[in-house]
Each structure stands twice: as C-alpha cells, then as structure tokens.
C-alpha cells in the first residue's frame, strides 16, 4: 500500500509537470542584426563625391590584400536629406581623452578579418522606419601590399611584401601597435592618415626588415549625398546606398544579415618617383591616399 501511494504521487507529479510544460509559451529568441565585413577590389572606384575616378596623374595604386579592419560608427539613414547623427545609430566604438583631444580608443576597438562578422546585436536597436542609406566610419585597416626594394648591388628591383597598419578614423589614441610581427609603442593620439609599415626581405638566408611610419597626404571619404547630407572633414564617415530599401516595422521575428561591402579598388595610392607602377619607398615614393573607394551595403538573403 505504501509503495502504491508513492507510485500514484509520482504519476500525478509527472502529469502536472507535463500539463505545465504544454501550457507554457515557448521562449523565442529576439531577432538579431548581424553586420558583416566585406572588402572587394572588383567594386567601382569612387572619389569623395561618389563619382567614378581613375588614379591621379603622377600617382600609382594597387589593390591591398585586406587582413583585418575596425569600424567606429554605424548609422542607418532614411534618405539623402537625413543629417548625420539624426538617423538610427546602432553602433559606436569606445573613445577616450587620455591622449588629449577626444579620440577612438584603438586598444578597445573590435578588429575583425575580411569576410567575417563584425558585430551582432538585437534588431530592436534599429528604430522602425524605411532606410535607404548607410553611414559607416572605418577607423583601422591592416593589409598587405607589394613593393620593390633597391639597394645595389645586393638588391636591384627586389620584390617583397609589406604589411600596413592604416588609421583612417578622425583621431586615434594608440598605446601600442602590432603591425604584423613587430610591435611599436605610440602612447598618444594620431590623426586620420597615420600609418605604420612593416617590411622584410630574405636573401641568402639573411632577413632584412624595417618598420617605418608616416602620414598620407589625403584620405578619400566617399559620400554620394554630400550636397544634401555632408559629413565633417576628417571624419571618415563613408556613405553608401543600400541595394534595396530596408523596411523595419519593429515586429520582425527573423534576423537580418547586413553586409558592408567596401571597395578597395586601387585604394592604396602613392606618389611615383620611378614611373613603373611599383611602390618603391627607397626611391622616395610616399603614400598619397589610403581611403576606401566606396560603400555598397546589401542585405544577404
């Protein structure tokens, strides 16, 4: 009798739990906004106002091989009349005043490789509305370039690869910076256009390497709607039109995968000394421009 009572109690308990589970509402995860990075040399090469441009006379350029990048600001804008910062801002990176003037805090920046997810957030961060434009501030790029080195008689037009850490954000506080294998101490602010180059070449089992630093004379920042919705000089807020308007109702149940496709079509540009289309710092050739050449955002289906 005792065991029968225990068994009956267990059956009742199991039945109650089953009825409770059946009556409970299923837990539904909130829809996400997934933002991916894509750098593509086949996209059009544009100037500051979104116009097609070729490489300037006296200069040469190449497509960098992108390793990684960081964004500082992402904003959805309803139309070409929407002023900067009045759209829906979904992401802003860390900033600091440790170096004096306010700057992007590079040590805390999210740095992700090409063709990867930069950030994921609840879709509720994007306010309801119809969006046609994206504004994105790119702050950091790390990429490889082709170079030649001349130091006769040991080196004559010797080809080698360099890695560039390129800062295009409005102002950047950097404590230390690892370019590829080398780390340098900066401990201060660097304005838009600062770069550091690590290069090495091996001959007969001996390696020769250098790290150099400098500033590009300009940074292209593409904004096709600059006449109606300008951005401050030096901000590096690149503006691009969505492939199709994005309508957000606020009742979405499915996640959205947004791809930020940036043009790196001849985006690394230098001033030629030896007119041969090869970047040759030992000849006195200098970095002219390292800005991205357009933003072409789209929603991945």
Q: pLDDT for 142-180, tens place per residue?
A: 999 999 887 787 778 888 899 999 999 999 999 999 999
Rg (alpha carbons) of the chain, rounded to whole number: 26
Structure tokens at 200: 């090495």
Q: Is 33 a domain residue?
A: yes
Q: Is 15 a domain residue?
A: no
Number of domains making up the chain: 1
Q: Is 194 a domain residue?
A: yes
The SS3 of residue 79 is coil
Q: Is 17 a domain residue?
A: no
Confidence of residue 5 (pLDDT cuts 50, 70, 90): low
Confidence of residue 134 (pLDDT cuts 50, 70, 90): very high
Structure tokens at 252: 């979405």
**Do 99 and 216 contact (CB within 8 A), yes or no?**
no
Q: Is 208 a domain residue?
A: yes
Can you give the pTM of this predicted structure?
A: 0.88
Structure tokens at 274: 């030896």
The boundaries of the domain holding residue 39 are 29-300
Q: Is 115 a domain residue?
A: yes
Q: Is 20 a domain residue?
A: no
Closest by Cα among 93, 147, 137 to 270: 147
Q: Is 24 a domain residue?
A: no
């Amino acid at each position: 009798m005792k065991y029968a009572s225990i068994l009956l109690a267990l059956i009742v308990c199991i039945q109650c739990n089953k009825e409770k589970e059946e009556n409970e509402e299923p837990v539904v995860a909130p829809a996400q906004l997934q933002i991916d990075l894509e750098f593509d040399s086949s996209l059009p090469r544009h100037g500051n106002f979104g116009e097609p441009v070729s490489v300037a006379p006296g200069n040469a350029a190449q497509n960098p091989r992108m390793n990684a990048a960081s964004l500082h600001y992402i904003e959805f804008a309803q139309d070409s009349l929407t002023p900067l910062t009045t759209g829906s801002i979904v992401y802003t990176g860390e900033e600091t005043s440790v170096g004096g003037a306010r700057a992007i805090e590079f040590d805390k920046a999210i740095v992700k490789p090409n063709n990867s997810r930069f950030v994921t957030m609840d879709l509720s961060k994007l306010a309801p509305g119809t969006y046609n434009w994206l504004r994105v501030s790119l702050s950091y790029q790390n990429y490889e370039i082709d170079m030649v080195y001349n130091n006769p008689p040991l080196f004559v037009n010797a080809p080698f690869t360099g890695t560039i850490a390129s800062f295009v954000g409005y102002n950047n506080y950097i404590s230390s910076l690892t370019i590829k294998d080398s780390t340098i101490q900066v401990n201060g602010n660097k304005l838009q256009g600062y770069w550091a180059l690590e290069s090495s070449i091996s001959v007969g089992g001996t390696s020769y390497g250098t790290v150099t630093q400098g500033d590009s004379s300009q940074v292209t920042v593409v904004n096709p709607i600059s006449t109606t919705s300008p951005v401050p000089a030096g901000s590096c807020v690149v503006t691009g039109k969505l492939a199709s308007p994005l309508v957000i109702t606020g009742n979405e149940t499915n996640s959205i995968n947004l791809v930020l496709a940036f043009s790196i079509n001849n985006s690394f540009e230098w001033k030629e000394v030896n007119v041969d289309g090869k970047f040759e710092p030992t000849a006195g050739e200098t970095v002219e421009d390292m800005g991205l050449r357009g933003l072409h955002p789209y929603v991945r289906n």
